[in-house]
Amino acid sequence: MAGRSIGFILASLCLSCGQGDRAPLESGARPGSISAQGSEDAHARVLQVGTWHGRKGAFATIQSAVNAAASGDWILIAPGTYHETGSDSAGVSIVKPRLHLRGLDRNGVVVDGTRAGSSGTCSPDPAAQLVGPGGAGRNGIVVSKVDGVTIENLTVCNFLNGTGGGGNQVWWNGGDGSGQIGMGSYRGAYLTASTTFYSDAHSASYGIFASNARGPGLIERSYASNMSDSSYYVGACPDCNSVLREVHAQNSAQGFSGSNAGGHLVLERSEWDHNRVGIASTTLANDDRPSPQDGACPNEPGRSCTLFQHNYIHDNNSPNTPGAGLAGTVPIGTGLIISGGRNDTVRENLITHNGAWGVLLNDYPDSSMPACDGGVAFFTPPPPYDQILAPVIPCYFHSFGNKVFRNWFSGNGFFGNETNGDLANAALDYPVRNCFRDNNELGTGKLTSAPRHIEDVLGSCSGPWVGDLAQESSLFLQLLCDTFGPGSGACTTSNQYPTQTTVTLLPIPRERGMEEPCEGVPENSWCGGD
């Protein structure tokens, strides 16, 4: 990522950073508490995989070292391409707590989901793809319901989904689909997650994924791209207690996706570009329960602890990214969307050149409804929304209590459809409003919004939300058209939203790795030993 230039842009614009409206993380979410440095395991061993500077390690595969390790041990991985088959569904399966997995070269240590013997690393050849027995799908590195596992300084590629799921490159899994929190701390740093292959049947779904975890969690200094769902995902955690920092997401359906992810959750100092949607925070009545997505600080009414801050969100306009399922229907051209969520804070971001909306907040009508926690079951929208949405909606999630302030916008809304612009609030009338204040437009100096004039000039953000009926109706129709296309019945001949013509993948870039990959590792023959 262009860390220096982005940092300069944000630092020069962020004149009021650190002044007011702060909701600091609890100490448990500070990165130092989840770092592998200074391991508390005094008797930790170092297991070596591959050959480093002419010295051969005891293990030829990562999984064999994981199997031999005890809790607290380190696993160092020498440069090489590793076609791991730890299980039918995972390349590397980790079920022991406090293991520290570290590559010695971020770009040179590659956990490759393609078949052993394939030509080249991360081969795009269809014949090289390995999708598990019966095409069920495979995951890359999977941490299953154990705490304190760190993964650093390596690349994972070409793990694809199938009939049984899969498609996650790096996954801390605390109990996906269970509705229960089954994992504590985790950390990922200097990771690259991508793919060179896509087909309608098999795609890479998620780059770096954490689910059903209470944290503290930290994902930093990482890159992910080419995912059919999202480059980064944190979900199914009412109080995630996690931070994503200095990450970069490109060419995915969503740069970030957070289903029912709230409480202490921070995305900061990161770049989100050339996706369909840059950042998507969503409420879903699905197996990522419990819903809703709620950014309120636990046990602190009136404060928000889900923070999207100091990010560079730009050029999220590509219909030709991979896309599957719900992620394949996100509204193209949106920088940041909060769909059915509440009590989140969006502040001090630079948001530019997103063709539909820079920031979009919207109610979410959910038709799936295995449960409707936090929503309104069998909701009957008032006219004319009963004709726009549906006469009865199985589960309706109002969007409210979100604050969007002190952001900088430029060049958004260039698709040119009615309602396209910097800010949008697609929400039915509600006793608690979403708040927009102190935002700035860097080009013309005039913010654009739908409905018009939604900036709260007094800054009080008090009182109910009462939207202009005509403008809100138009915004809902535009959102439906962008999301579902002409088949939705919401589009007219004047609507201009891009549609997919093909799927394009970006090449996997070389990224900056750890300067001292031996730092913090117990002494061994590869790091400070004889």
Q: What is the DSSP letter of 292?
A: -
Q: How many CB atoms lie within 10 A of CB 461?
A: 16
Beta strands in 57-167 (DSSP E): 74-77, 80-82, 90-94, 100-103, 109-112, 139-144, 149-157, 161-162, 165-166
Tens-place pLDDT, residues 293-316: 999 999 887 899 999 999 999 999
Q: Could you tell me if 57 and 48 are in contact, meaning their C-beta atoms sit under 8 angstroms apart?
A: yes
Q: Name residue, tokens 């005094």.
A: 42
Tens-place pLDDT, residues 154-193: 999 999 999 999 999 999 999 999 999 999 999 999 999 9
**Which residues on neighbouring strands pair with residue 93, listed in sequence order?**
142
How many percent of the chain have pLDDT more than 90?
A: 82
Average pLDDT over residues 95-120: 96
Tens-place pLDDT, residues 370-411: 689 999 999 999 999 999 999 999 999 999 999 999 999 999
Of the candidates 247, 355, 235, 362, the residue with the CA atom closest to the CA atom of residue 291: 235
- The average confidence (pLDDT) of the chain is 91
Whether omega before 486 lies within 30 degrees of 0, making that bond cis, reads no
Residue 39 has pLDDT above 70, yes or no: no
Domain regions of the chain by residue span: 45-197, 216-482
Confidence category of residue 31, pLDDT binned at 50, 70, 90: very low
How many percent of the chain have pLDDT more than 70?
A: 91
State which amino acid sits at residue 38. Answer: G
Residues 6+ apart with CB under 8 A from 213: 172, 174, 181, 182, 183, 184, 186, 237, 240, 242
14 compared with 115, residue with greater pLDDT: 115
Q: pLDDT at position 37, please? A: 45
Specify burial of residue 528 (Cβ count, 10 A radius: 0-12, 13-18, 19+).
exposed
Whether omega before 216 lies within 30 degrees of 0, making that bond cis, reads yes
- 324: Cα separation from own chain's centroid: 15
Q: pLDDT at position 529, please? A: 67
Whether omega before 365 lies within 30 degrees of 0, making that bond cis, reads no
Q: Which residues of 442-457 are buried (b: 16+ CB within 10 A; e: fewer)?
A: eeeeebbbbbeebbbe
Confidence category of residue 489, pLDDT binned at 50, 70, 90: confident
Dihedral in degrees, nearest 10, Cα atoms 30, 36, 39, 41: 120
Q: pLDDT at position 210, please? A: 98
Query: What is d(CA 284, CA 466) in angstroms, rounded to the nearest whole number?
Result: 25
Query: What is d(CA 154, CA 158) in angstroms, rounded to the nearest whole number?
Result: 14
Residue 4 has pLDDT above 90, yes or no: no
Q: pLDDT at position 369, please? A: 64
Strand 421-426 versus strand 449-450 pairing type? parallel
Q: pLDDT at position 288, please? A: 87
Tens-place pLDDT, residues 319-366: 999 999 888 899 999 999 999 999 999 999 999 999 999 999 999 999
